[in-house]
Amino acid sequence: MSKVRVRFAPSPTGPLHLGGVRTALYDYLFAKNQGGEFVLRIEDTDTARYVEGAEDYIMEALEWCGIIPDESPKHGGKFAPYRQSERRDIYDRYLAEILKTDYSYLAFDTPEELDEIRKEYEQKGDVFAYNYISRNRLKNSLTLSEEEVQKLLDENVPYVVRFKMPVDRILNLEDIIRGKSSVNTNTLDDKVLVKNDGMPTYHFANIVDDHEMEITHVIRGEEWLPSLGLHYLLYEAMGWERPQFAHLSLILKPEGKGKLSKRDGDKFGFPVFPLNFKDPETGNISKGYREEGYLPNAFINMVALLGWSPANDREILTLEEMVKEFDLHKVHKAGARFSKEKAEWFNHEYLKQLSNEETLALFKGVDGIDLSQFSDDKLLKIISLMKERATFIKDIYNDGKFFFEAPITYDEKASKKAWNAETGTLMNDLADVLHATKTFESEILRKAIHDFAETKELGMGKVMMPLRLALVGELKGPDVPDILEILGSEESVGRIKNAVNNIN
């Protein structure tokens, strides 16, 4: 069998959506599982929908995810160029071939004429299709004489090349995920293969490239399923062996119905794009998983499980493990519901797996927080206390703000609960005890507080609660002795004095 070659073929019409990332990932996992190659091809023949920066975005997103192509516009390869706009001569060559067959014809109808007909159909409550019936009364090389066609060509009248859909045939289609299905060719229309500017459309360029690039498996979104019949026939027309196909189901909204959209992301507060994307026209920024604080391996793990179940329902897998386990036959036919909670769970799990040193390196890179005043030693202690509960690295800062800044206000409800008329004196006495504690380590401090409470004939809670309030500003955070150790003697005592002066 020939070497497995799988391509991801996005159009640079905007940022990559979560669904696009999943297609690329499955393309990659399948190729690598089979010991094959993964190709990135940019399908940019539709110049009207081209978006500046989209191609770079796609490449950067794949790189961030660790889905590195063997061949691409950037990496090159033996089937270069990998940008369709640079492959015009190849399409021209194959256009000449398909024009010699009975599978194509030239159509001279102007857009205005077609609009007119479309309207006529609409008035009758019908939908117009350029197909095996209507083509017989339209302006094309099937209805015009050879001389008339030649005359139009000599006069440079614009034309498109259309696929001539065979009549009355049943096509038996096969999909690795969905199994067998069939379609009657009479239900399919005569798609444009080459536009009047000579540019091929998606359908033609796509099959030419898949053939030329020796693609063995086409794994793509289910929106292309209705085109599968046409693609089968294009391979037949060209006399080429066709690749195997697999169409992936949609990623669904969190509530389970309908395709996940950017609007859902805005509504429920999660990104639908891997990286931030700045729309070059409006300047609007769409949020990305990277900037939101997701770790790339957590992100792709989450994406991989939207529609595929590894053996034993394992959930946490590295990219290498996914490659080893990936099986297209285990990809689900039904749509996969997106869950923000699940995405966060994955990040939390991956964060827990990082060493404190690895976390520190990432912590220092979080945008918008300045840690320069704090020693690595201190930051590592904070990380080890806060990491277990954090979903994102930035949570270590947000949930542990009190480590970095002394409280200036005290939560009102907490103050009512923890502080009364005698607490000020009590805390002043405790401050003296802490000040006198030579070794400022959590276990020693715990014992000192314990002994202090005992001498005062108070329960531990009666001492710990106001102390926590003084240090944190509210009644939350890790164990108080741990907080004391990290803050150090001077800062801790200072915060207690401050609280005594400011609460009440």
Residues that bind ligand GLU (CB under 6 A): 9-11, 43, 202, 206, 218, 220, 224
Of 31, 56, 27, which Cα lies nearest the Cα of 44? 56
Q: What's the min distance (Å) between Cβ of 218 and ligand GLU?
A: 6
Name the helix (H) or strand (E) containing 174: strand 170-175
- By beta-carbon proximity to ligand GLU, the closer residue of 87 and 135 is 87
**287 a catalytic residue:** no
Q: What's the min distance (Å) between Cβ of 7 and ligand GLU?
A: 7
Type of residue found at 338: F
- H/E/C letters for each residue in 244-276? EEEEECCEECCCCCCECCHHHHHHHCCCCECCC
- By beta-carbon proximity to ligand GLU, the closer residue of 54 and 430 is 54
> How far apart are the C-alpha atoms of 316 and 163, rounded to whole Å?
47
Q: Return the biggest CA–CA distance within the chain.
A: 113
**CA 370 to centroid of chain Cα atoms:** 29
Of 431, 432, 373, 364, which Cα lies nearest the Cα of 403? 373
Whether 21 and 274 have beta carbons less than 8 Å apart is answered as yes
Choice among 74, 259, 262, 381 that is catalytic: 262
Whether 290 and 296 have beta carbons less than 8 Å apart is answered as yes
Q: What's the min distance (Å) between Cβ of 6 and ligand GLU?
A: 10
φ, ψ at 222 (rounded to 5°) = -70, -10
Q: What's the min distance (Å) between Cβ of 45 and ligand GLU?
A: 9
- By beta-carbon proximity to ligand GLU, the closer residue of 132 and 224 is 224
- By beta-carbon proximity to ligand GLU, the closer residue of 219 and 499 is 219
Q: What's the min distance (Å) between Cβ of 12 and ligand GLU?
A: 9
- Supply 154's token pair: 């000599």
Whether 41 and 213 have beta carbons less than 8 Å apart is answered as yes
- By beta-carbon proximity to ligand GLU, the closer residue of 88 and 462 is 88
Q: What's the min distance (Å) between Cβ of 220 and ligand GLU?
A: 3
Taken in order 83, 84, 88, 90, is the CA torsion positive or negative?
positive
Whether 450 and 434 have beta carbons less than 8 Å apart is answered as no
- By beta-carbon proximity to ligand GLU, the closer residue of 22 and 220 is 220
Q: What's the min distance (Å) between Cβ of 73 and ligand GLU?
A: 14
> How far apart are the C-alpha atoms of 474 and 389, rounded to whole Å?
18
* Residue 226 CB contacts under 8 Å (≥ 6 apart), including other chains: none
For 287-294, the CB contacts below 8 A with 24+ separation are 288/15, 289/343, 290/64, 291/367, 292/392, 293/347, 293/366, 293/392, 293/393, 293/394, 294/343, 294/347, 294/392
- By beta-carbon proximity to ligand GLU, the closer residue of 227 and 492 is 227
- By beta-carbon proximity to ligand GLU, the closer residue of 221 and 424 is 221
Residues that are catalytic: 262
